[in-house]
Chain A
Amino acid sequence: MKVIIDWLASCGGCDVSILDLGVKILDVIKEFEIVYWPVALDFKKEDLKALEKADIAIVNGAVRTSEQEEQLKLIRDKVDVLIAYGSCACFGGIPGLGNQFSSEEILKRAYVETPSTTEGKIPQEVTKMDGFELTLPKFLDKVRALDDVVEVDYYVPGCPPSTSTIEEMVDLMLKLKKGEKPEKKVLASDKSLCYDCPRFKSLVRPPTVNRPHEIVADQEKCFLEQGIICLGFVTRGGCGARCIKANMPCRGCYGKVPNAFDFGTEAITAIAMAGTGEDYLPPMRITEAVDKIKDVVGLIYQFSLPKSRLGDLK
């Protein structure tokens, strides 16, 4: 079976994560022929175009530029099964946070306004120089997840996906090789991370909101009940609670639980529980616990802003 691995708007971590398979990667190589993997070997778009057909594509990264869009469509045409790999491919990921701003604002910020820039210049799609015409792909208005551009068959969430999730993907690929078509579209748990979380819960409302640097988190107790915002309750499990075990709260890279309407707003619903003893506060200070959150969108849509139904309201 022929496999394409490609990256779009991505940090490269997803490609590296495949190596987390360790020795199991040898099985992958035994069973599958990797015909295109630009991160690992020097492939060019022409090589992709030249490919007649492949079976499976594993694509990480979101779609930000015209080139990425073209690349993705090209891949879709070549393969039977497209796997969105990583949070960017599944939900837009960290680059998706760019959707708070227009493309002009982003380019201006990056190439002109940053403190380290002097006499900045915004890159143009076409630049004429010394009689030559230099071209760049178009910087599109919005970041999109893969399924907003083409049809996606399977989703492997995570930033990056954890080793167990990648192993699950290998199992999926082996099944596909046998001609099966597994129904489970998202390679993560249908339960939230809380279902797997080893921490102790007292079943109390969070007394306040503590930013992670403000307190030393108790390693045994539920983060949320300590006032540290952990989004495990709205996030699919399946990651193996990696962050939780490293005493870091969940930020939601596995995406929303299946029945939630929207990641961010559902997150708000429970975050708003924080802050007790309001009866003793003057009315003006009732919301003070949540007022400590400096960047609401950055918190609730860290990995999924392009998929935000709130964003759709605009």
Chain B
Amino acid sequence: MSDKLLSVQGLQTCFQTGGGTVRAVDGVDFDIHSGETFALLGESGCGKSMTALSILRLVPQPAGRITAGKVLLDGQDLLALPEHAMRDVRGKRIAMIFQEPMTSLNPVLTIGMQIGETVERHLGLRGKALRDRVIALLDDVGIPDPAQRYGEYPHQLSGGMKQRVMIAIALAGEPQLLIADEPTTALDVTIQAQILDLLRKLQRERGMAMLLITHDLGVVAGIADRVAVMYAGHIVEQADRAAFFADPKHPYSRKLFESLPTMGKRDRQLAVIKGSVPSLAREFRACRFEDRCDFAWQTCRDTAPRWLAVGPEHHARCHLNDPDIAKPAPRAAAPAPAIQQAPRATAGDVLVDINDLQVFFPIHKGLFKRTAGHVRAVDGVSLQLRVGRTLALVGESGCGKTTAGKGLLQLIRPTAGTVHYRGNDLTQIGARRMRPYRADLQIIFQDPYSSMNPRMMVADIIEEGMLAQRIGRTDVERQARIDELLTQVGLSPEAKRRYPHEFSGGQRQRICIARALAVNPKLIVCDEPTSALDVSVQAQILNLLKRLQAELGLSYLFITHNLAVVEYLADEVAVMYLGRIVERGTVADVMQNPCHPYTQALLSAIPKIDTATGREIIKLEGDLPSPSNPPRGCHFHPRCPMAMEVCRGNYPERTTLSDTHTTHCYLYR
């Protein structure tokens, strides 16, 4: 390895809050060498973003303060520099890109001006030279027609393009170190693959070091040279990539791997980390992971573990690896309990039959709001939901999957098509006749923060549906049912006298599930219920959903973009692209034998942990077209690597590949 570029030593950042001092970063040490990618991995709230901000001295003032440590860049301590000298470091020597490209750009300035600002500051270029440099940068980050894009505004670009512009701004000062804080979390998988590829390419070409901050093990596997795992404000394990993925030493790292959903774990529960991340406001004397660790014994509760070498370039902070400490006899980790799938007589019967569902949103223009066109959010979707089974609806953002779910529930009135349930076409009956069916068809939302009224207590939130559906005759009866529901989703009945903001994301999602269960539904539409949660919490929710399905015989329409979850949970899969279903089949059909080029690309774009297999990523060019003006012929042909002449003509008819597997593609006609 080459010399050390950045060396962080004993960094500590504290926040003064009403509840005391919060040590967001508490003694972090690591080195980054020139030209390498160093990944900082951790769940939300572990202090990884704050570490990055501390390196650049951008900690929010005056609440936050760097209280100890050194940040040496080429041997020079950044924490000792005066503020004006720091401005030459930021952007010029260390640059940063952020998670949310939508809010990182100023909407009233052209992207050329925003990149030019940084170029001018750090390279001192003016006029034509400046413009040429900016266009060269846009070209470097893979933006087509850079000369034309120069004068465009952020709203004219897609999310992926904006992230490319952000990268161009970061590169403008030709930094030695690039800090990327969750650079792809807000993007779809195919776009994520593009951006990761771009970062990898730029790093290779420029010999730049990169500090990558992420919660996604897959991203780490794909791009990092070395990995550090952060937990509760400090680093618990550090290793090079191969060693880390081959044999993680810290129990927390191992749990992270075990809680990932995969195909192989389908018939058993996912491993979960019990409890929750400890509050950083308290002083730690012992191991920080002790109360959640399966292996913890008395020593873990008394002394803090040392930072020990457990292999070449591999360190961990755990007593299990300390040769000087007597360990109790290893407890055999109990295998994750299998799920009792009670076979039901009716399982597999069609519960809801959706036929050719269309949801169009009119585009109004002019003074009299004339309808000038339609956004074809859902454009002819047919699905059958079966009793006790899970159908996963997969697609990238903007493909219409959420709209399809709401169209099924009649939360948005469909434009055309039928939804048959218990012999009725739900699209034809009025609100009054729809009301009794509402109890059977429920929904869980993505964002557990906005899905509950902040001014209602948990008991009132759960009771609302029961009152509307006249379930439970007396208040006593309803309160007893609420207690039962809360216990069923793994919360204490005392929770009902509290308000939603007092709960964590995972607990809120449990409350939302309890609310849906309160009316005894047959089908629950799960709209990305785990995508806002950390991996270990996601495992808890997936376990809960699976258990409830086994116990209550529920059907799920599981809307997601996360294919790993699909593999674990779903029975059938439908892949959606631009308002239409392009491929449908059982989970085995679609995940192991994908036929449609889009499905193939989607599957290959997921960052995988087992990089050894040497699979090839099918890179899709460009972005999802606008659903208000879909391309002629096959919607996918402009991005399809296998597009033929016939694809430009008409939309392909359905091809049946097997009893359960169908697709819309000319390759199989």
| Chains A and B come from one and the same complex | no
